Amino acid sequence: MPAVYTLEVVFPKPTGTSPTGIDGDNRSKFALQGVEYAIPLAATGGMPPLAWTGSNLPSGAVVESYPSQSGESLWRLRWPNPQTDASDVQVCVEDIHEASDCETFSIDVQAAGSSSRFRFVDAVDGNDSWDGTSPTFVSGTTGPWRTLSAVWSQGRMHQIIYFMAGVYNVDGITLASGGAYANFDYGGNGGLGRPTQWLNYPNESPELDLQSTGSDTPYINLSEAENAWVEGFEVYGDWTKSFEVGMFFGRGSVWWNNNFHTGGDGGDGSNSAFIMMTSNSSNQSYGTVIANNIFGSAGHNAIKAYTALKLVIEGNLLDGNDGMAMKADVEQYSIQFNKAQNLTSEAGAGLVTGNHNATHFTESSGETRFNAVLSTSSTTVYLVRGGIANVAALHIYRNTFVGTAIIDRLGSAEGARTFTRNVIINATAASGSCPAKFTCTSVTDFTKLVLSSNLTGVTGDNIVSASGDLQGSYLTDHGPASATPKGHMMDTELSGGGGGATDGPRGKGRTRIRMR
């Protein structure tokens, strides 16, 4: 089937103004000497599976696939031992139709020290009277900080903070708005700003305990961030949200390899989520990547986003929460390769839910593809939720949905909701103009609901396994190697390598993945 959007690398990008570039202080531009450097590779558009390659890579660096939390493969650039700067590094992506796109950027390798932008915090062996310029104690005041409070008070904008193992919390931070949140404001702190790029030091597992005690539990606010980067954390104990991020000018922000769980009951219909991307009337964040995270139990959404252009959400596992919500002014989003299970039954729970409306920008639009949503028959899952004008077409294709599927608030002012080659398993019968397999609430224009070549059935048909994969004759007839593939499964029959230092978009070692 043809691609909906043109294939485009959204991360990484060269330094510049979006959509052709990202902020020059982005973590992707900097490596710590002698410490493994790794960044996700992400694209929107095209037709999966996607294959990545690299050229002009520094010695030892590789472009490689890796298994994500959803079970699907994602891609990264990994450099085990950076020593000197790397210029004109190129990464390229190619889709099944051999459409391709490339981006070129450079990496500044810095040694730890006072002149470096890297800082370190160690909850076990650190000391807040030290300067944070070394991952271990050296002498005098040269060593890692101990607390998140030191990062808040002594850290500066543009710094990249490496966290060692241990438990971190907001103790000692002067909380804003009557104790509602710890404000890591990019332009605050007397104009010096505070750091908004947080990474786990390689092979370390930091924990962020937000100490949920009720509705007044503080969250982390990465305010007005040019870059928000959160990688490698276990985050738990929130009430309404873990992180709120106002990426009003953000370009290339990343949430990668985290484990969020044990969230509070943020309240049905409220702006609450593990990751809450807030709105802005004059600027959209560009190219945010939310990849390879676990979003566990919570009474709120895993992700809720406003005002974002080409947001990529991929390879995540959602288990026991309210799913995702794409809200106002989220344009050309890509929700892909995720797995959602045990979603809660609160109104709004789902994979594609949200009031998709455009209040300040051209349109709200997006594609949801190659996801598996596995819920019990008693769980309601909003696949599409609309109700406000200026919504462009939403494309829902090659997904597997097991459980009650709701189409909510679809009217004449909105674009079509096109369901193509999905697998939909439930016992819902047709009702009036609402087709079988869907529950329609407040739908006034059924011409906007477009169904094409979907495979439907009930649990007893044994169309899919417990993991949502096609099985038996259905795999033969509609699997990824068939003439009419349906559902989230992708053919992983590969030939060739995963990309080496001299590989280009059509060079040797190019990954070839067969799919129709």
Handedness of CA 392, 396, 401, 404 (dihedral sign): positive
503 pLDDT more than 60: no
492 pLDDT more than 60: no
- The total number of residues written for the chain in this structure: 516
State both tokens at 72: 């699907």
CATH of domain 8-111+493-513: 2.60.40.10
357 pLDDT more than 60: no
Find the mean pLDDT for residues 395-421. Answer: 87
Q: Give me the pLDDT at residue 346, please.
A: 55
Please indicate whether residue 353 or residue 110 has the higher confidence score (pLDDT).
110
Q: Is 499 left (phi over 0), alpha (psi -120 to 50) or beta?
A: left
- Percentage of residues of the chain with pLDDT beyond 70: 85
Rounded to two decimals, the pTM is 0.93
Most confident option among 10-24, 161-175, 372-386, 499-513: 161-175
Find the mean pLDDT for residues 381-390. Answer: 59
Domain positions in the chain: 8-111+493-513, 118-461
Q: Give me the pLDDT at residue 325, please.
A: 83
Most confident option among 80-89, 367-376, 439-448: 80-89
User: Which has the minimum average pLDDT: 265-269, 280-284, 354-358, 397-401?
Assistant: 354-358
Q: Give me the pLDDT at residue 227, please.
A: 84
Q: Please state, in angstroms and as integers, the Cα–Cα distance from residue 53 to each residue in 322, 368, 395, 490, following that order.
A: 36, 25, 28, 19
User: Which has the minimum average pLDDT: 21-30, 103-112, 339-348, 423-432?
Assistant: 339-348
Sheet of strand 364-369, all strands in order from the earlier edge strand to the far edge: 118-121, 160-163, 197-200, 229-231, 254-256, 289-291, 312-314, 333-336, 364-369, 391-397, 417-420, 449-452
Where b means 16+ CB within 10 Å and e means fewer, 136-173 reads eeeeeebbbbbbbbbbbebbebbbbbbbbebebbbeeb
69 pLDDT more than 50: yes
136 pLDDT more than 70: yes
Q: What angle do CA 291, 292, 293 make, to 5 degrees?
A: 95
The beta-strand segments (E) located in 134-277 are 160-163, 166-168, 181-183, 197-200, 206-209, 219-222, 229-231, 234-236, 241-245, 254-256, 259-261, 273-277
144 pLDDT more than 70: yes
Contact present, 323 and 350 (Cβ < 8 Å):
yes
291 pLDDT more than 90: yes
Q: Give me the pLDDT at residue 508, please.
A: 30
Q: Give me the pLDDT at residue 115, please.
A: 95
H/E stretch holding 385: strand 380-385
CA 117 to CA 115: how far, in whole Å? Answer: 7
* 3-state percent helix, strand, coil for the chain, nearest multiple of 5: 5, 40, 55
**C-beta atoms surrounding 60 within 10 Å:** 12
- Residue 29 sits at φ, ψ, to 5 deg, of -85, -5
- Percentage of residues of the chain with pLDDT beyond 90: 64
Q: Please state, in angstroms and as integers, the Cα–Cα distance from residue 220 to each residue in 91, 192, 241, 292, 379, following that order.
A: 33, 18, 8, 21, 31
CATH of domain 118-461: 2.160.20
Q: What is the mean pLDDT of the chain?
A: 86
CA 334 to CA 48: how far, in whole Å? Answer: 12
CA 359 to CA 173: how far, in whole Å? Answer: 36
513 pLDDT more than 80: no
275 pLDDT more than 60: yes
**Cis ω on the peptide bond leading into residue 19 (within 30° of 0)?**
yes
123 pLDDT more than 90: yes
CA 156 to CA 114: how far, in whole Å? Answer: 12
Find the mean pLDDT for residues 1-27. Answer: 90
Please indicate whether residue 175 or residue 355 has the higher confidence score (pLDDT).
175
Q: Give me the pLDDT at residue 510, please.
A: 33
Q: Give me the pLDDT at residue 81, please.
A: 98
Q: Give me the pLDDT at residue 382, please.
A: 64
CB contact set of 112 (below 8 Å; sequence gap of 6+): 32, 33, 118, 120, 133, 134, 135
Nearest to 334, CA basis, from 27, 2, 10: 10
Find the mean pLDDT for residues 283-305. Answer: 91
State both tokens at 317: 């596992």
407 pLDDT more than 60: yes
State both tokens at 10: 């959204």
Which band of pLDDT confidence, cut at 50, 70 and 90, is reported for residue 491? confident
Which band of pLDDT confidence, cut at 50, 70 and 90, is reported for residue 506? very low
Find the mean pLDDT for residues 390-411. Answer: 83
Chain-centroid distance, C-alpha 230: 11
